[in-house]
Structure 1
Amino acid sequence: MDIKTAAALRRLRLVSGPEAISFLLLLVCSVLKRTTDFNAVPVMGMVHGVLFVLYVIFWADAWNRAKWPVGTAALYFVLSVLPAGGFFAERRLRRESEDAVVASRVRGEGAVKA
């Protein structure tokens, strides 16, 4: 994995957690708006919207650089529209990047021995 691909995956991983949190907070604010006089939906909606747009931009970049199959790319997109899906995306992305680092070290160690 080259450095640009690793950076793209890292950006997507770092935005997936806050995007999931903002989605859950937006749901809570929506319920509070309907049940109380508290209305933070406009502010939380804007925050979540910005994070979601960033997620989609970083998702497209990661898909392009990592050369994911359509199924993997679709999974990461679907996880972005589920309330807690960003947490699962973050965990999968972390595992994927760790596996890529291990694989590149193995390839590098094999080249040194030969």
Structure 2
Amino acid sequence: MNSCLIWFRRIAFWEGVSTVVLFGIAMPLKYGAGMPEPVTYVGWAHGLLFMLYAGLLALNWFKLRWKPSRVAIYFLASLVPLAPFWVERSLKDKNAPV
């Protein structure tokens, strides 16, 4: 399997985790308990993971010659909570099709 694709799958998973932690833990702590610090740190990590996701998506697009429709779906998935888990699973289940 292509190493760029492996990294993309890993980052998709962790980007999904960071979204769950941000929305499920950090934001309730900020607005419910008046603790803004978790949002600062988790939000920073989530932003970094999002940029890595987008960069690796573009890299795989060019290296593996993915169709633009596939890239668009994977990019839109990065904007929907929990959808990055679907991206990771779809690449794993189909043995990383190109």
Q: What is the TM-score with the length of structure 2 in the denominator?
A: 0.88
Alpha-carbon distance in 2 for matches of 1:95, 1:61:
21
| Residues 75-112 of structure 1: CA deviation (Å, up to 9, x unaligned) | 1111111110110000111134x265xxxxxxxxxxxx
The structure-2 alpha-carbon separation of the partners of 1:62 and 1:95, relative to structure 1 and needing over 3 Å to count, comes to same
- Is structure 2 residue 27 aligned with structure 1 residue 30? yes
1:16 and 2:26 correspond: no
Unpaired segments ≥5 residues, structure 1 = 101-114
**Aligned 1:9-88 pairs, distance under 5 A:** 9-28=5-24, 29-39=26-36, 40-88=38-86
Tell me the TM-score normalized by structure 1.
Answer: 0.76
The CA distance in 2 between the partners of 1:34 and 1:16, in whole Å, is 27
Structure 1 window deviating more from structure 2 (27-36 vs 49-58): it is: 27-36
Q: CA deviation at 1:31?
A: 2.4
Greater gyration radius = 1
The share of aligned pairs that are identical, in percent, is: 28
Deviation by residue 1:21-65 (Cα, 9 ceiling, x = unmatched) = 101111121122111122211111101011111111111001111
**2:82 aligned with 1:93, yes or no?**
no
Question: Structure 1 runs of 4+ off > 3 angstroms?
Answer: none
Q: How many residues align?
A: 95
